[in-house]
Structure 1
Amino acid sequence: MEIKFLEALQILYSPILNYLMIFITYLGNGGFIWIVAAIYLLFQNNNKLKREAFTLALALIIFSIFGLLILKPIIARPRPFTVSDVNLLIKEPLGFSFPSGHTGSSFAAAYVIYFYNKKRGVLALILAALIAFSRMYLFVHYPTDIIAGIILGLISGKLATNCTNNLLKRAYNN
């Protein structure tokens, strides 16, 4: 069923959309765009933005531990291109499929950004959704990998914001 969905997405293939999806997916490689965002925020002369940078980095770390270091090797789900004959538009990704690391890190970061600034957060959520879609479009993740990445990413973002808020409460109470 999930393979059929991915195969149906190939109807959308066009040179322009292929290029766009490849570009969007590369933004999510290794959490690149989100790490750059955290570094940018960290070097701003504003304590709230520095707090956001810390929280964003913490969310990425939380997702990486649970999603990539724990779940991926335990579940060890093969990627869709290994079970269907498809010409990949990108280099074969290493590792297993479930959950989607691009999606999880993107939604973890987007949650944090939205928590601190709704306007920037909406843009981050749109980019996160585009990155998630690109992973299916490029035939490297199943829809359930994406759903799991979204859920784990949002939970990671929530945990990170809760941790940061608790640390701040303790600091102000002492």
Structure 2
Amino acid sequence: MAWEFTFLDWLQGFHTPVLTRIMEAVTFLGEAGWFWILLGIVLLCTRKYRFCGAAILAALLLDLVLANMLLKPLVARDRPCWINREVELLVRVPRDYSFPSGHTMASFAAASALFLTWRKAGIWALLLGALMGISRLYFYVHFPTDVLAGVILGIFCGAAGVWIMKKTRQTKLGNKYL
């Protein structure tokens, strides 16, 4: 854990007003997964991208259960900002546990599902997911290993969401609507 604080403290040296505004915008997109949920719903409403939207929403549902209902309470890892209170936070203090990074995991769950179903858009989504993870480190609310776990588990949820929708599409009802 010592190296993680060293890294986070080093990252604090890169704060600028412009970069902080950019990171605030990025982290806002990840609040409660609203951006990814909205994207999934919009895609679900179009015939051409319905499968893609369904895969994103399935991935996000898996992410919700795995991250927020299982891992965060089970691991119960304190956030760096709870441990080192000397760092002035530029965002509100999160109330839930740190591991894994929910913003990062949801972003990579949705972005991976998007990448596996619509590669061109998925590349941009993966870049946004990477920025999301960086923003959580920038704001001192996650350890690097929280973000790394969010990336790995998010990719798993994205792939699982696509797999579930492929299996669903093979059913009579799924074939009709997906």
Q: TM-score range by the shorter chain?
A: over 0.9
Matched with 1:77 is 77
Distance 2:7 2:41 in 1: 37
Three-state SS of the structure 2 residue aligned to 1:129 is helix
Cα pair 2:63 2:106 within 8 Å, conserved: yes
1:129 paired to 2:130 = yes
Q: How many angstroms does 1:170 deviate by?
A: 3.3
Q: How does 1:27-46 map to 2 (within 5 A)?
A: 27-44=29-46, 46=47
Matched with 2:60 is 60
TM-score, normalization by structure 2:
0.92
Q: How many angstroms does 1:43 deviate by?
A: 2.0
1:156 paired to 2:157 = yes
Matched with 2:99 is 98
Task: Give the share of equivalent positions with the same residue, in percent.
Answer: 38
Distance 1:151 1:157 in 2: 10
Task: Give a deviation string over 1:69-103, Cα, whole Å, max 9, x none.
Answer: 00100100000011111000001111000000000
1:141 paired to 2:104 = no
Q: How many angstroms does 1:166 deviate by?
A: 1.2
Cα pair 2:108 2:129 within 8 Å, conserved: yes
Distance 1:123 1:99 in 2: 23
Q: How many angstroms does 1:40 deviate by?
A: 1.3
> Which residue of the other structure, out of 3, 19, 25, is the alignment partner of 2:21?
19
Q: How does 1:3-18 map to 2 (within 5 A)?
A: 3-18=5-20
Q: When the two structures are aligned, how many residues end up with a matched partner?
A: 170
Distance 2:49 2:119 in 1: 14
Distance 1:166 1:24 in 2: 33
Distance 1:20 1:5 in 2: 20
Three-state SS of the structure 2 residue aligned to 1:95 is coil
Cα pair 2:79 2:141 within 8 Å, conserved: yes
Three-state SS of the structure 2 residue aligned to 1:77 is coil
Cα pair 2:52 2:118 within 8 Å, conserved: no
State the 4+ residue runs in structure 1 displaced beyond 4 angstroms. none
Distance 1:166 1:82 in 2: 43
Q: How many angstroms does 1:34 deviate by?
A: 0.3
Cα pair 2:75 2:99 within 8 Å, conserved: yes
Q: How many angstroms does 1:162 deviate by?
A: 0.8
Q: Which amino acid in 1 is paired with 2:155?
A: L
Q: How does 1:107-122 map to 2 (within 5 A)?
A: 107-122=108-123
Distance 1:39 1:98 in 2: 27
Three-state SS of the structure 1 residue aligned to 2:121 is helix
Q: How many angstroms does 1:61 deviate by?
A: 0.5
Cα pair 2:111 2:122 within 8 Å, conserved: yes
Cα pair 2:89 2:139 within 8 Å, conserved: yes
